[in-house]
Amino acid sequence: MGTQKLVLRCPTCRTLVTAQDEFFPFCSDRCRLIDLGKWASGAYRISSPVLDPEVLEGLDKGKERHEDDDPGSN
């Protein structure tokens, strides 16, 4: 059985990259920084439902507060 090399595409520029490359999974430091900048700016978002009961409870309380503050609800 031969050894397999892990080869992926750089998430930024789509260049082929092996696991032995210095900046893996990116092809260069430039591509790594571009990706980091996208995360920092909010360009990437993880869109999944919030399932943590404590977080959901906090969201519900915040919603109730905003509804009580509505000046048009007199």
Residue from 23, 19, 39 nearest 31 by CA: 23
How many angstroms separate the CA atoms of 17 and 35, rounded?
Answer: 15
In terms of pTM, does the model score above 0.75? no
Tell me the pLDDT tens digit for each residue of 13-39: 999 999 999 999 999 999 999 999 999
Question: What pLDDT, in 10s, does the model give residues 39-57?
Answer: 999 888 877 776 777 777 7
Are 26 and 10 in contact by the 8 Å Cβ rule? The answer is yes
Q: Residue 1: inside a domain, yes or no?
A: no
Residue 21 lies in a domain: yes
Tokens read off for 10: 């750089």
Establish if 15 belongs to a structural domain. yes
- The answer to whether position 26 is within a domain reads yes
Structural domain boundaries, residue 37: 7-69
Distance of alpha carbon 71 from alpha carbon 74, whole angstroms:
7
Q: What is the CATH number for 62?
A: 3.30.50.10
Does 25 reside within a domain? yes
The verdict on residue 2 lying in a domain is no
- Counted domains in the chain: 1
